[in-house]
A = this chain, B = another copy of it.
C-alpha cells in the first residue's frame, strides 16, 4: 500500500517524465488510488502518462465516477482500447453504472468476441454466479496430450489467476475434467491429459448465488471454480480475488442491515443524501412499529401516576431485554449466513440458546431486583420483585424470539438481517411493558399493595 508519505512525494513531482516513470512502475491499485485523489482536471493528465498496458490495469481499480469522467475526457480510440481489454466481468460492472447512452456508443466498438462475452454475462441476474464470472479461462478439448495442452495455455496468454487450472470439455463444451498447471508442468509431454485430470470437478451453476459460490470456494480451498449451465456446459470461471471481495461485501451488508442501514452499502464516505435515503425510512419504520409498544403503556397511565418509580425502572428493562434478544439474533443470523447451521438444526439451536437463556434470566432477574430496590420507597419494595420476575421472563422470550425469528424469515426468503432486529426489540418491549404494568396494576387493584 502506498503510505501517506509516498503519496505526498508523488504529488511533489513536477517533472512529468519522472512522474511517468514512477507511475508505470507502481502496482496498478496504488496508481488508481493516486489518480482518484488528484483534483478533477489533473486526473486525465496523469492517466495519459500511463503506458497502454498499465492504463488498462489501473482503469479497473478506479471508482465508477472517475471511470465515467475519464471516458468523457479521453479520445474514443483510447477508451475503446481500455474497454476492449477489461475482463468481461469488470466491463459488465462498469456498463451497469454508466449512462445508457454511453454504453450504446461503446458497445458497437467492441470486437465481436468481447461483445458476445459482455452480452453473456449481462444476461444473468445480479448476484448470481453468471454475473460475477469471467469468460476468460483455459478450455482444453478432450484427447489432447500434456504437451499440446501446455502449448494451448501458452498461446492463450490469460490473466495470471486464470491459468492455474484448465478445464477439459467434450465437443459440446460439457465439462469433463479439471487439470492444474502444476500437474501439466510436472508430467511427461506425451501423457494424455485424461490420465492426469480429475473427474470429480467441483463446479457451480450460472444461477447459483454469489454467496453460495464464495462459501463453496472457501470450503474446498479453491482458487478458481468453473461455472456451468443447466446442461453442464462450461460458460465461465470465478476466481478467488472476486470471492474475497464478495465475502467482504456480504459481511458489510450483514453488519449494516443489523444496525438498520437498509441497503447494507453505506460507507463513511457515502454522500449525505444516500446516507439519509438508506437510514431515515428504516428509522421511521421502527418508530411506526414502536407505536405499538408505546401504546401498550397508555392504558396504564393511572398506575404510573400512582407509582412514578415505574417510569424509572421501565427503560432499564426494555434496554436490557432488547440487548438479550439482539445477542441471540445476531449469533443466529451469522451462523445461518456462513452456512454453519440450517433450518433443520432449529431444535438443537433453540435447546442451547434456552439453556444459556436460563442462566441469563437468573442473572439479570436478580440484578434487576437489587437495582429496583435502590429506587423504590419502602412501601413499594414489592415492585422490585415484580420487576425482577418480568425481567427473567422477558429474557427467556428474548432468546426464543432471537433464535426463531431469523430462521423463520430465512425459510420464507426474507433477509433476516434486515427485519428481525427492530421487530425483536419492539416485540420484547411491548411484551415486557404489558406484562410489567399489568402485574403492577393487578397488585394495586386486587391486593391493594
- CB-CB under 8 A from A4, the residues of chain B are 344
Name the contact of A331 in the complex, choosing from B256, B318, B371 (C-beta under 8 A).
B256
B356 touches A287 (CB 8 A): no
Count of residues in A whose CB is under 8 Å from the partner chain: 120
Given A223-B223, A287-B316, A364-B287: A327 in contact with B259 (beta carbons within 8 A): yes
Q: How far is the CA of A327 from the CA of B268 in the complex (A)?
A: 11
The answer to whether A312 and B301 have CB atoms under 8 Å apart is: yes
Looking at the complex, which one of B269, B286, B308, B348 makes contact with A335 (CB distance below 8 Å)?
B269
Contact of A319 among B241, B261, B290, B364 (CB under 8 A): B290
On whether the beta carbons of B360 and A330 are closer than 8 Å, the reply is no
Of B240, B318, B360, the residue contacting A223 (CB under 8 A) is B240
Q: Which of A118-152 contact B (CB under 8 A)?
A: 150
A76: min CB distance to chain B, Å: 29
Alpha-carbon distance between A202 and B221 when the two chains are bound, in angstroms? 22
A271 at the interface (CB under 8 A from B): yes
- Check if A356 sits within 8 Å of B323, measured CB to CB: no
Minimum C-beta distance from A51 to chain B (A): 16
Q: Is B283 within 8 A of A324, CB to CB?
A: yes
Whether A54 is near chain B, meaning CB under 8 Å from some CB there, is no
Total copies of this chain within the assembly: 2
Determine whether the beta carbon of A345 is less than 8 Å from that of B268.
Answer: yes
Kindly name the residue among A181, A294, A332, A422 whose own CB sees the greatest number of chain B CB atoms within 10 A.
A294
A254 / chain B contacts, CB cutoff of 8 Å: 251, 255
Whether the pair B320, A355 counts as a contact (CB closer than 8 A) is no
User: Contacts of A340 on B, CB cut-off 8 Å?
Assistant: 267-269
Q: Please, how many angstroms separate the alpha-carbon atoms of A284 and B395 in the complex?
A: 13
Q: Is there a chain B Cβ closer than 8 Å to A161's Cβ?
A: yes
Report chain B residues within 8 Å CB of A267.
Answer: 331, 334-335, 340
Taking CB as reference atom, which chain B residue is nearest A342?
A: B4
CB of A403 to closest CB in B, whole Å: 8
Q: Decide yes or no: A276 and B314 within 8 Å by CB, A254-B255, A256-B330 being known contacts.
A: no
The contact of A268 among B310, B313, B349, B433, by CB within 8 Å, is: B349
8 tightest Cβ-Cβ pairs between the two chains A and B: A251-B251, A272-B355, A259-B330, A268-B335, A275-B356, A301-B308, A272-B356, A221-B241
Binding site for B on A (CB under 8 A): 1, 4, 25-27, 29, 150, 154, 160-161, 163-164, 180-182, 185-186, 200, 202, 216-221, 223, 240-241, 243-245, 247-248, 251-252, 254-256, 258-261, 266-273, 275-276, 279-280, 282-284, 286-287, 290-291, 293-295, 297-298, 301-302, 304-306, 308-316, 318-320, 323-324, 326-327, 329-332, 334-336, 338, 340-341, 344-345, 348-349, 352-353, 355-356, 359-360, 363-364, 367-368, 371, 374-375, 403, 422, 425-426, 429, 433
26 A–B contacts, CB within 8 A, in A order: A27-B200, A27-B202, A29-B220, A150-B185, A154-B185, A181-B181, A181-B182, A218-B245, A247-B247, A254-B255, A267-B340, A268-B403, A269-B348, A276-B359, A280-B363, A283-B324, A287-B371, A290-B320, A291-B316, A291-B374, A294-B312, A295-B312, A310-B311, A315-B318, A319-B425, A319-B429
